[in-house]
Amino acid sequence: MADLYLITGGAGFIGSNLADALVRDGERVRIFDDFSSGRIENLAAIRDQVEIIEGDLRDYDEVKRAMRGVNFVSHQGALRSVERSVDDPMSSNAVNVQGTLNVLQAARDAGVTRVAYASSSSAYGDTEVLPKTEDLTPAPISPYAVSKLAAEHYCRVYSRLYGLDTVSLRYFNVFGPKQSPESKYAAVVPLFLRAAFKHEPLEIHGDGLQSRDFTYIDNVVLANRLAMRTTGVGGSVFNVACGDRHSLIDIADMIGRFLGRTLERNHVASRRGDVRHTQASIDRITTALDYRPPVGFEEGMRRTFEWFKGQWKG
């Protein structure tokens, strides 16, 4: 019988893309999600091929029930967004820290082989050192970043004390199909695309020259699959990125080129808790997991543009 994969937050952007890939390869997949931000529509293509459990990460009994018989866990469930955490740090801590602790405890008790944890590049804070290497001292500047780093420490402790293999993946600004633009805390790529298709000004926080190591979803899916299956890396932390960076202005210009027109821009105040620049070193993950991002930034932007274009026309 094929291994059973549990994806927490499996109806969300990253989780549902990972579920699609696992199902395509014939794996058994169980989704755990409270559907507060994840959408059942994200699972439409595989709805009849996966098991779905609706539950809350903060409820240990529900997490424990979802963990039965599981071999590998991809822990994507979280309350995302730096800005959201600034507005409501308590809920970020409850879901991202206590929720992760519940996952780790339930996984240990269920005899899970490996937990891959979705961490965040925000753990590095606003340090000027580029590229960011995993041995830099973390310096989080938002409640969200603190919560993701705290959960990383729990992962490491569960590996060392309890023998539960864990790998923490520090994502750098993931984008791609199925990423929602609907929340006021939505990420920049879907927000820009929605505005462009609606012929509305692109809202740019600050001068727009802040840059990120934007990482297409297929690269993150690959990293998760490698992190769950590669032996000998328990307790490790890896950057997941492309090792490059692009500004918000770069994204606006690229979308304008795809559309063949200049996009109007509206500059507003910078967001609290945002860092100025991020760029990852991916040397460690390349060496340890043989990770090589299959999709570069421009190709990822084009694929994302085409997907949103199809949604908009539909």
Say whether pLDDT at 237 is over 70.
yes
Contact of 171 with 121, CB cutoff 8 Å: yes
Residues 117, 169: Cα–Cα separation, whole Å: 6
Q: What is the pLDDT of residue 18?
A: 98
pLDDT band at 130 (very low <50, low <70, confident <90, very high): very high
Q: What is the pLDDT of residue 126?
A: 87
Buried b (16+ CB within 10 A) or exposed e, 103-135: bbbbbbebebbbbbbbbbbbbbbbbeeebbebe
32-87 residue pLDDT tens? 999 999 999 999 999 999 999 999 999 999 999 999 999 999 999 999 988 889 99
Residues 3, 296: Cα–Cα separation, whole Å: 31
162-218 residue pLDDT tens? 999 999 999 999 999 999 998 777 899 999 999 999 999 999 999 999 999 999 999
Contacts (Cβ under 8 Å, ≥6 apart) of 75: 8, 9, 100, 103, 115, 116, 117, 118
Task: Return the closest-CA partner of residue 204 out of 186, 214, 213, 192.
Answer: 192
Say whether pLDDT at 258 is over 70.
yes
pTM: 0.96
Rounded to the nearest integer, the mean pLDDT of the chain is 95
Torsion of CA 9, 10, 13, 14, to 10 degrees: 90
Q: What is the pLDDT of residue 183?
A: 76
Query: Which helix (DSSP H) or strand (DSSP E) does residue 284 occupy?
Result: helix 283-289
| Amino acid (one-letter) located at 34 | D
Place of tokens 């059942």: 40
Residues 238, 156: Cα–Cα separation, whole Å: 12
Cis peptide before 131 (omega within 30 of 0): yes
Contact of 251 with 297, CB cutoff 8 Å: no
Cβ count near 45 (within 10 Å):
13
Say whether pLDDT at 314 is over 60.
no
Which segments of 9-94 are extended strands (E)? Answer: 28-33, 51-54, 72-75
Residues 247, 223: Cα–Cα separation, whole Å: 24
Q: What angle do CA 112, 118, 119 make, to 5 degrees?
A: 125
Place of tokens 């990383």: 152
85-104 residue pLDDT tens? 999 999 999 999 999 999 99
Q: What is the pLDDT of residue 128?
A: 87
Say whether pLDDT at 313 is over 90.
no
Task: Give percent of the chain with pLDDT exceeding 90.
Answer: 91
Angle between helices 188-197 and 297-313 in degrees, nearest 10: 50
Contact of 172 with 240, CB cutoff 8 Å: yes
- Chain-centroid distance of CA 273 in Å reads 18
Say whether pLDDT at 227 is over 90.
yes
Residues 67, 87: Cα–Cα separation, whole Å: 32
What is the CATH number assigned to the segment(s) 4-172+217-242+280-294?
Answer: 3.40.50.720
Residues 223, 245: Cα–Cα separation, whole Å: 19
HSE-CB for 2 with a 13 A CA cutoff = 12
